[in-house]
Amino acid sequence: MARLRVLSGLGGKLPAAFLLELAGTRILFDLGEGPEPGVFPDVRGVTVDALCLSHAHIDHVGALHLWPEIGCPDVYATAAVWAELSDCPVPPSHRRVLPEQGQALVADVPFLLGRSGHALGGVWFHTDAAGGFLYMGDWSVESALLPFDPPPPAATVITDASYAARDQSLKDQIAAIADAARAGAVLCVPEAGRGPEMALTLARLGLPVRVCPRLAQELGTLPFAPEPLPAIAALPAGGWQPQDTIIAIGPNADYGLPAELLERGGFRFVFSGHVPDQTPAARLLADGSATWLPWNVHPRRQDTIRLAQQTGARRLLLAFTPAETAAPLTADLAHCVTWETTLDLC
């Protein structure tokens, strides 16, 4: 008997936590917070044999403080993810390093992993058990910097559907953001996310890109060597000017350089991802003093449809989106979409 239980992540913009039971082995995929602050999966009474992390973003790893409550299992993640989580509460004795591509054992269950195109070190997980099970985490096929490996067929697929019915291309979005940033802007990005690609892309378009020290560190530790772009630089403290094209970590201007520049005043802000309520970004957008322009890091409607076709999914769970927002996509994939939170897989 194999069973899938959704602890969190289905029916809304919620933290990721999906529990797979295979012949007595219990594997949890992700353990996140948010994206609204303080929102955690309910793990009361849940103990697991292994925890797999798809990538290092907070809505997938932000509840690692609950690790003792789920039985202190071994935690599996790629080297790049562990580098981002170096100070997390999981001790080295329980950290297991996964490849970004290829075969791996998770609590003695064989899995195939592939790169997800969403974040440094991000991967999807596939096992042939239970007719084929695939957990995509967050993913994207549009990045020019982060590769995406197409997954194999699977009867049951959990997919990132954060954008639901969006079909606008990243290429068009890049043009809009470049136009908005030419006169100067603070482009706010998350850790281990779109920042390096945004900096490289806008610099190639001729914008005088400046990055915060934390993002400069990310650029300097990329596991591959993009062409040198000397226009990208981190400025000394206090050297930032409103006419600069600034890319900085602090996605909602709630910490880091964006928070500092917001307090200083005179800077124009552009946000490009999900904006939680009760954040400076939400306030700035509400009063019209900031701009929101998307930069795709999740699958578009067409990408999700293609994934369902290529995997031959019989059960497709559309994660990280409200059911009503996903209605057009649900209609496209009515033959396989399910909103059930407990599924017997075989």
Does 36 lie in the same domain as 81?
yes
The H or E element containing residue 316 is strand 315-319
d(C-alpha 67, C-alpha 87), whole Å: 14
Does 195 lie in the same domain as 54?
no
Is 70:43 a contact under the CB 8 Å cutoff? yes
Tokens describing residue 297:
């890091």
Does 37 lie in the same domain as 110?
yes
Return the CATH number at 230.
3.40.50.10890
- Rounded to 10°, the helix 170-181/195-204 angle is 70
Does 106 lie in the same domain as 6?
yes
pLDDT at position 235 is 66
pLDDT at position 237 is 65
Strands 17-22 and 2-8 turn out to be antiparallel
pLDDT at position 229 is 53
Low-confidence ranges of the chain (pLDDT < 50): 230
pLDDT at position 238 is 72
Structural domain total, the chain:
2
Q: What is the pLDDT of residues 331-344, one digit of tens each?
A: 999 999 999 999 99
Which domain, by its residues, includes 60? Answer: 2-165+297-344
Looking at 249, 272, 292, which one is the last position of a domain? Answer: 292
Looking at 254, 270, 292, which one is the last position of a domain? Answer: 292
pLDDT at position 220 is 84
CA of residue 259 relative to chain centroid, distance: 22
pLDDT at position 239 is 85
Return the CATH number at 311.
3.60.15.10
Does 332 lie in the same domain as 268?
no
Does 216 lie in the same domain as 151?
no
CA of residue 292 relative to chain centroid, distance: 19
Strands 315-319 and 342-344 turn out to be unpaired
Does 136 lie in the same domain as 23?
yes
Does 180 lie in the same domain as 87?
no
Tokens describing residue 310:
């290529």
Does 319 lie in the same domain as 240?
no
Q: Is 46 exposed, middle or buried (0-12, 13-18, 19+ CB in 10 A)?
A: middle
Does 9 lie in the same domain as 66?
yes
169-174-180 Cα angle (round to 5): 130
Does 132 lie in the same domain as 265?
no
Does 114 lie in the same domain as 66?
yes
